[in-house]
Amino acid sequence: MISGLNEQLRRIVLSGVLKEENASQFLEQITALECSDIGKPITLYIDTYGGSVDSALLIYDAIKACCCPILTVGIGKVMSAGVLLLAAGDPGNRFITQNTRVMIHEVAGGAFGSISEMEVSVVETRRMQNLYVDLLSRDCEVPKSKIIDDMKQGEYYMSAEEAVKYGIADKVVPTRKKISKKAILSKSKKKTAIRKKKTKK
């Protein structure tokens, strides 16, 4: 995972696989931004296939513990553990771009060693999944039973619009290209109207 920071714009970019070292880096970055101006919003861009659940939980807790408003933006793909991070943003300030893909699935884990050791590993993996479901259910305001049923399908994919309906994000944002086109059209109409007024005079 690449964790990029723009201090001036107060933006953090999480891109790639969620790993321990980058999660720690994120913690340092969000803490630094919080200390530099308590209460001023921080924007978090998320583009990930997922990764370590432990790393995702570290980032999740850092987001929830931050005193600054956190705006989350899903862009590209937001999958697996990354979905938890998008949903963790402040209510009303969780955005997703129109072509972003979202996916949730059951927590995966490998078990090896003695039978007793593998049994312990399975129990812990199940506990982690229950925690994931609990947190996602709370932030999305979706029944746990629905999340569990959807994850049992294997990989449950959603479009940006479907992710908003699910409660993972609050709003689909258009691309900059479309925004700029609208702005250009608006300016063009204003100029045309001014010219018509001058012609009439």
pLDDT in tens, 149-200: 999 999 999 999 999 999 999 999 986 655 344 433 444 344 334 444 444 5
Contact 25, 57 (CB under 8 A): no
User: Whole-model pTM?
Assistant: 0.81
52: burial class by Cβ within 10 Å (0-12, 13-18, 19+)? middle
- Can you give the pLDDT at residue 9? 83
Locate 33 and state its tokens.
């931004």
Cα torsion angle, 38, 76, 152, 22, sign: negative
Active site amino acids: 80, 105
pLDDT, tens digit (0-9, with 9 covering 90-100), for 11-65: 999 999 999 988 999 999 999 999 999 889 999 999 999 999 999 999 999 999 9
Task: Determine the pLDDT at residue 91.
Answer: 96
Give the single-character DSSP code of 98: T
Q: Is 174 helix (H, G, I), strand (E, B) or coil?
A: coil
Q: Where are the beta strands (DSSP E) in the chain?
A: 2-6, 11-18, 42-51, 70-79, 94-97, 101-105, 155-158, 171-173
User: Using an 8 Å Cβ cutoff, are 63 and 23 in contact?
Assistant: no
Distance CA 18, CA 83 (A): 12
| CB of 116 closer than 8 Å to CB of 124 | no
State the pLDDT at residue 112. 67
Q: What is the mean pLDDT of residues 117-135?
A: 87
Q: How far is CA 3 from CA 18, 47, 83, 179, in A?
A: 10, 10, 17, 27
Classify burial at 48, counting beta carbons within 10 Å of its beta carbon; exposed 0-12, middle 13-18, buried 19 or more: buried
